[in-house]
Structure 1
Amino acid sequence: MTHRPDTPLLDTVDVPADLRKLKPGQLRQFADELRDEVISAVSVTGGHLGAGLGVVELTTAIHYVFNTPEDRLVWDVGHQCYPHKILTGRRDRIRTLRQGGGLSGFTKRSESEYDAFGAAHSSTSISAALGFAVANKLTDRPGKGIAVIGDGAMSAGMAYEAMNNAEQAGNRLVVILNDNDMSIAPPVGGLSAYLARAVSSSEYLGLRSLAKRLASKIHRRVYNAAEKAEEFARGMATGGTLFEELGFYYVGPIDGHNLDHLIPVLENVRDSDQGPILVHVVTKKGKGYAPAEASADKYHGVAKFDVVTGKQDKGKGGGPPAYQNVFGETLAKLADSDDRICAITAAMPSGTGVDKFNQAHPDRAFDVGIAEQHAVTFAAGLAAQGMRPFCAIYSTFLQRAYDQVVHDVAIQNLPVRFAIDRAGLVGADGATHAGSFDLAYLCTLPNFVVMAPSDEAELVHMTKTCVEHDSGPIAVRYPRGNGTGVALPEVPEVLEIGKGRIVRQGKKVAILSLGTRLAEALKAADTLDAKGLSTTVADLRFAKPLDEALIRKLLTSHEVCVTVEEAAVGGFGAHVLTMASDAGLIDAGLKLRTMRLPDIFQDQDNPDKQYADAGLDAAGIVDTVLKALRHNSTAVGEAGAIA
C-alpha cells in the first residue's frame, strides 16, 4: 500500500512562484513535507534517495530566493533533483520516475524549462552554469547561472577547469558546493579530506565560539564588523583561500539544513556585486530518513522500499550472480597467485565489482574518485612498469577518458585491461548511462583486443584471458544485471585471441552473435527451425580481432547471415561488413544484415522492453531473417510460404 503523507503546504505549491508566496516562517514545515513526499515517491518507484533528501532545504532555499527559471539552475549529476522536480510542476508525475514514458531520474531539458541543463555524468555543472552566466552578461539579459555541485564531483578536473575561467562571468555565476562528505562511495583524495578536516578543526570551531561570545556583548554595528572578520577567518580556515585564488568570493561553510541560515546568505549572494561567488554548504546525505542516514551508501540508489521499515524490495534472492560480482570475485582469485594484478575504479567500487577485489587485496585496489581520465593514464603507468592493471569503468563513463585510451594506452600499445561494465542498455537509468558506444569507439583503435561474453561463465574465461594478455590493450564488455544461471568454471581458461565458436549448427541461416544477445539468438533459431529454416548460431566472442576464417565460412555457406550486438552502429556488424567488402563477398550476392541498437538515444524503460523496441530480441531477429529471405530472388517461393 502506497504511503501518502499529509502535505497541506506542499499542496499549495506547483511551481517556484507559488513557493515565493509563502512566509519565511512557513518554510520549515514546507521542507519537511517536501522530504516526506520524496520518500513516499521513491518508495514506489525506486531510484536515487539519499542525495535528494540531503538537499531538500537547499532546494527550497534556492527556488525561494532566486528567480528560477530566469536564474538558470544546474544540478551536477542530477541524482539529487527529485525535490527540484516536485517543486517545478512535475509532482503529479513524480511516481513515474525512471519508468517507461515517465520522468527521467536526472535533469532533462526536454522535460521542463526548470531543467536548464541535462545531466547524469559528474562535474559538468560549473562549466554549464558559466556558459549561461556569460551568455546573459554578453546579451545584457537578467539571470544568473547557479551550479550545485557535490564534494565528490570536485575530484574531477573539469570542475577546476571551469573555475579557472569563472571570472569572466562576474557576479552572474554562483557555485554552491554541497559538502555532504559522501558521494556514491566514501570520497577519496585530498579535497574531500581537506574540507572535512577544515569544518571540524579546532581553529574553525574556536573562531565561531569566540564570535558567539562577542555577539552577546557588543553593539550591532560592531558585531557586523566582527561577523565580517569571522567570515574572513573562516575562509582562511576552511579552504576559502583555495577558491579565492581561482577568482571566487568564498562564503561558508553554512549548515545546509538550517533555513534560517540559508535564506539570508543566499539573499546576500543574489544581491551581491562581487565577482563569482562560491557558497560552501554542509549537508547530510539521507537527511530526515533514519535508514538513509544510517547507511548513506546503501540508500544512494534504492529499489522500491517500505517507508516504515526501510526494507528494500530486491526481489527473490538466490538467483544468478551479477556480472560485476563475477568479474570482481574472479579477478580477486586470480590475484591470489599473481601479485602484478591490480584493480582501478573511478568512484564506483561496488558497481564494478572492485569492492570484491578490495576485500581480498586492499593494497592493490585503487579508487581514484570521479576521475576517469586519471584512472586510464594511471593504469597505463602501472602497465608500463610491469603491472597487470584492470581499469574497471562503466561503458558510459569510459567515454570521458577516450583521449587517454587512444593516446596513453593504444598508441603506446600498453597492456591495460579494461573491464567495461554496463555495456548495452541499462533500463531505468536511461540514455545517459547506456553503454551503447564502446564497441564503436574501441574497435577502431589499432592494437586493441575487444571481447564480449555471452554469459557469466564466458566472463570468467575472458577475465583470465585479460590477465594473460601482455602484448597490448584488451577490453571485455558485459552488461548490467544478473547472469543467465550457467555454472561457473572452477578453473578459468585462456581463450585463443580472435576465435569464436559454433554453438548450434544449421544450413540455411546463420546468426552471428556477440555478447549476451546469444540467448535471444538461440530462441530465434528455434523459431526459424520450426519454419523449416535450418539455422546456425555462432558466438563470436571477439569484436576485434574478428574470427575471419569462421565468418567467411558462415557467410559463404548460408543463404542469409545476421550479426547481432547490443551496441550502436559502427561496432561488430560494421566490421563484419567491412571484412566482407574487402574480401569481395558483397559482390557475390551475399545476404548479410546487421542488427544493432537504433540510431536514437533510448529513454528509460524495463530492459527487456528496451531491447524489444530496439529489435534485438528473438522476435526481432526472426523478422530480420524473414525480410532478408523475401528479398532473396532465389528463395521467393519459400519466403512467401513462410510469411
Structure 2
Amino acid sequence: MSRAARADCHSELFDILERTELTAHSDEQVQRLALLIRKFLIDKVGAAGGHLGSNLGMVEVTLALHRVFRSPHDTLLFDTGHQTYVHKILTGRARSFDQLRKAGGLAGYPQQKESEHDVIENSHASTALAYADGLAKARQLTGETERAVVTVVGDGALTGGMAFEALNNIAAAPQRPVIIVLNDNSRSYAPTVGGLAAHLSRLRLGPPSQPREPAQAAGSLFEHLGLAYLGPVDGHDTSAVEEALRAARTLRRPVIVHVTTVKGRGYEPAERDQDEHMHAIGARPTPGSPPAPAARPSWTALFSETLCTLGARHDNLVAVTAAMPGPTGLSRFQARYPDRFFDVGIAEQHAVASAAGLAMAGLHPVVALYATFLTRALDQVLMDVALHQLPVTFVLDRAGITGPDGPSHHGMWDLSILGAVPGLRIAAPRDAKQLPLLLEEAVSNRSGPTVLRFPKGTTSPDLPRQDSYRTVDVLHTTPNSDVLIVATGILAHSALRAAETLLARGIGTTVVDPRWLLPISPDLLDLVGRHRRVVTVEDNTRSGGFGSALAHLAAVEHPDTSVRSLALPSRFIPHGERHTLLAEAGLDADGIARCVLNSLTPPRYDTAQNS
C-alpha cells in the first residue's frame, strides 16, 4: 500500500472513531472498522516495533467488548497487556501511535496515567484473573453490582499457576459475576503446551454451545470447576462475540466465553512466519536510510550456540523454559536435543521447582528466563533449589534496562533479590568471549545454584584483561592509582571510557571486572582495601544490589575506604531507548567519570544516589 493510501485509511479511521459512537455502527460498518484498524496496526507497529501478532488477533474481540460494555464504568482487564493496542485505539489514543514505545510517548502496555480505561499496568501473565476476583469481591461489598468485571485471558496465560488459583476462587462464588473471555489462539510466545492445550483443542472441535449451567452439563474443565461455559465462538465474527458477551452478562455468575482467534490475523507474514512476525516485530527501517552494518550476534544467540556446544560435552545437561524457547535462545538446543528440553508453559514457579527435581536426579538443568520473570519464582529459587544446594543454572536474558517495553520488563532487581539467596553465585559477562567461559564454569559447578545474567541487544567487543588480581580481571590501571572502579558485566566498556576521561584530567584509576559478582569474593574485597575510593557500577537497582553488598563488607573490613554505588534508581523506570535510560541514571562514561570526580571532591549532594 502506498503512503498516500495508508494516510487515507488512517484519516478514515480517525473520522469514524471521533465522529460516531461505536455502538451505532451496523455489522458492515464494524467489519470496515476492523479492516481499517488492522491496516493501521500493520503500518504503525511496523514502524515503531512492538507486539503485532497478538493485537491483530484481538481486533474483533476488542470491538465486541467495547460495543457490549461501557469502559471504564465496566472494568476491562487484559492478560497480558501486550494485546491492548486495539483497546488503546478505541479509547482515544489512535493519533498517539506515531510515538508508540518511544520515550514520553504511548506505552506498549496499559498505563494508568495514559487513560482511565487502563487498569492493570503489570504485563506479567496469569495475573488478571486474580485482579478480577478482587474487583468482584469489592463490587459485591460496595453494592456496585451493575459494574461488570470482564477479563481477557489467553490460553497461554492459563498455563500459569496463578490463573488456576484465581479460577478456583472465582468458581467458588457463583453470586459474584466475573466474565472471562478466553482468547484461544493456541499460542503464547510459542505454541501452548500441556494437558490444558489438549483440552482446549478438543473443545474447539466441538459444536458451539448455548449457555450452560454447571449442573446441566459438564463437558469442559471449566464447568467441572463450577463456571458457566459459552463457546467455542469465532473470535473474528464480531456479531457472534457480541451475542456471547451479552448472554454471559445476563447469566450474572462467573462464566467463560471461549473465543477462538488467529494470532497475526490479516497480516500474511505473521500468519506464515510463526516466530519472526507472530508475536512481536522490530521497527521498520526508515525509507532512504543507509543499510545497517553487519551486526554482532546477540547475547541470546551466543548463549544458544554455547549451550548446544556444552550439551555435546555434558550428557547430563538439560534445558527448561517457561513458554519462551525462541526468545530465550533454547530453540536450537530443543532441535538438537529434544529429549533434554522441557517447555512448561507460562509457569516460572513450576519451571524452577521442576528443575530442582531434575537436579535431584543427577542432571544439571539450565533454566532460561527473562530477568524480570525470575522474580515470580523467588520462593522456588530459595527453598526448592538453594536450600537443597542443587546444581541448577539460571540464565537471565534482558537483565538491566530493556528499553521500549517499560517498567514491568526492565530486569533491574535480580541482583538485589538473588543476593539474599545463600549459596547462590551470580556472574555477568562483559563481552562475547566471557559468556562461554562463565557458562561453562556454571554448568560444571556441582556445589549449588548459579546465575548468568546478560542484557538485551548485541554482544560487546572483547575487552582483554591487562592483568589479574587473583580471581579479579584488571582491565585498566595506572601507576599509583587511588581510585578503583568495579564494573559489572557490559558496563565495563563505559567504565573504561570513563577512565580515559579521568586520565586526561590527571586522575589515575584502576578498572576491574570481578566476573562473578555475588557473593563478594575475598579477592575483590582485599583489592578494595588497597584503594581509598571505590565506585561500583551496575545495571541493577541501587537498593540491595552488588554495590550495596560490597559497601557493607568494606565498611567492616576496610573502614578507611569510601565506597560509592552507581546503579539504577530505586523506582520504576519508564520505557525509552536503552542507552538514553542508562545515561539518565549516570551509567554511561560521562556519568561514571562524574561520579568518580564527586567522590574526590564531595559536592553538596551525592549524584551516585540516583534518586
2-structure distance, mates of 1:84, 1:324 = 32
| Range that drifts further, 148-157 or 31-40 | 31-40
2-structure distance, mates of 1:303, 1:169 = 44
Do structure 1's residue 567 and structure 2's residue 570 form an aligned pair? no
Do structure 1's residue 293 and structure 2's residue 266 form an aligned pair? no
The residue that corresponds to 2:607 in the other structure is none
The residue that corresponds to 1:61 in the other structure is 64
Match for residue 425 of structure 1 among 382, 386, 401 = 401
The SS at the match of 1:412 is coil
Assess, with a 3 A threshold, how the Cα gap between structure 1 residues 72 and 15 changes in structure 2: closer, same or farther: farther
Are the aligned partners of 1:520 and 1:617 in contact in 2 as well (CA < 8 Å)? yes
2-structure distance, mates of 1:314, 1:376 = 45
Deviations 1:519-546 (Å, cap 9, x if unpaired)? 0000000000010001110001122232
The residue that corresponds to 1:531 in the other structure is 505
The residue that corresponds to 1:609 in the other structure is 580
| Max Rg structure | 1
The residue that corresponds to 1:222 in the other structure is none
Are the aligned partners of 2:472 and 2:523 in contact in 1 as well (CA < 8 Å)? no
Do structure 1's residue 361 and structure 2's residue 337 form an aligned pair? yes
Match for residue 102 of structure 2 among 99, 106, 109 = 99
The residue that corresponds to 2:567 in the other structure is 596
2-structure distance, mates of 1:533, 1:281 = 65
1-structure distance, mates of 2:198, 2:41 = 30
Do structure 1's residue 130 and structure 2's residue 133 form an aligned pair? yes
The residue that corresponds to 2:90 in the other structure is 87
The letter for the 2-side match of 1:503 is L
The letter for the 2-side match of 1:54 is G
Aligned residue runs from structure 1 range 130-169, under 5 A: 130-141=133-144, 142-167=146-171, 168=173
The residue that corresponds to 2:317 in the other structure is 341
The residue that corresponds to 2:247 in the other structure is 268
The SS at the match of 2:220 is helix
The SS at the match of 1:158 is helix
Are the aligned partners of 1:43 and 1:306 in contact in 2 as well (CA < 8 Å)? no
Are the aligned partners of 1:457 and 1:486 in contact in 2 as well (CA < 8 Å)? yes
Taking structure 2 as the reference length, what is the TM-score of the superposition?
Answer: 0.92
Match for residue 4 of structure 1 among 3, 7, 17 = 7
2-structure distance, mates of 1:544, 1:355 = 29
Assess, with a 3 A threshold, how the Cα gap between structure 1 residues 288 and 170 changes in structure 2: closer, same or farther: farther
The letter for the 2-side match of 1:556 is G
2-structure distance, mates of 1:413, 1:95 = 50
2-structure distance, mates of 1:628, 1:487 = 26
Are the aligned partners of 1:323 and 1:481 in contact in 2 as well (CA < 8 Å)? yes
1-structure distance, mates of 2:549, 2:290 = 39
Residue ranges of structure 1 left out of the alignment (5+ in a row): 209-226, 489-495, 633-643
2-structure distance, mates of 1:618, 1:8 = 45
2-structure distance, mates of 1:180, 1:448 = 39
Are the aligned partners of 1:423 and 1:436 in contact in 2 as well (CA < 8 Å)? yes
The residue that corresponds to 2:520 in the other structure is 546
Are the aligned partners of 1:341 and 1:388 in contact in 2 as well (CA < 8 Å)? yes
Aligned residue runs from structure 1 range 473-484, under 5 A: 473-484=449-460
Assess, with a 3 A threshold, how the Cα gap between structure 1 residues 180 and 228 changes in structure 2: closer, same or farther: closer
2-structure distance, mates of 1:533, 1:187 = 57
* Deviation of 1:330 (Å): 0.7
2-structure distance, mates of 1:486, 1:240 = 59
2-structure distance, mates of 1:261, 1:414 = 52
Do structure 1's residue 257 and structure 2's residue 260 form an aligned pair? no
* Deviation of 1:5 (Å): 4.7
Match for residue 177 of structure 2 among 169, 172, 182 = 172
* Deviation of 1:440 (Å): 0.8
Match for residue 434 of structure 2 among 455, 458, 465 = 458
* Deviation of 1:228 (Å): 4.6
Are the aligned partners of 2:428 and 2:488 in contact in 1 as well (CA < 8 Å)? yes
The residue that corresponds to 2:606 in the other structure is none
The letter for the 2-side match of 1:193 is A
Matched positions, count? 590
* Deviation of 1:232 (Å): 8.3
The residue that corresponds to 2:609 in the other structure is none
Give the % identical residues: 39
Assess, with a 3 A threshold, how the Cα gap between structure 1 residues 535 and 80 changes in structure 2: closer, same or farther: same
1-structure distance, mates of 2:326, 2:229 = 35
Are the aligned partners of 1:125 and 1:147 in contact in 2 as well (CA < 8 Å)? yes
Deviations 1:480-538 (Å, cap 9, x if unpaired)? 111013399xxxxxxx9993211111212211111110000000000000100011100
Assess, with a 3 A threshold, how the Cα gap between structure 1 residues 27 and 170 changes in structure 2: closer, same or farther: farther
The structure with the largest helix share of the pair is 1
The letter for the 2-side match of 1:155 is T
1-structure distance, mates of 2:227, 2:504 = 70
The residue that corresponds to 2:187 in the other structure is 182
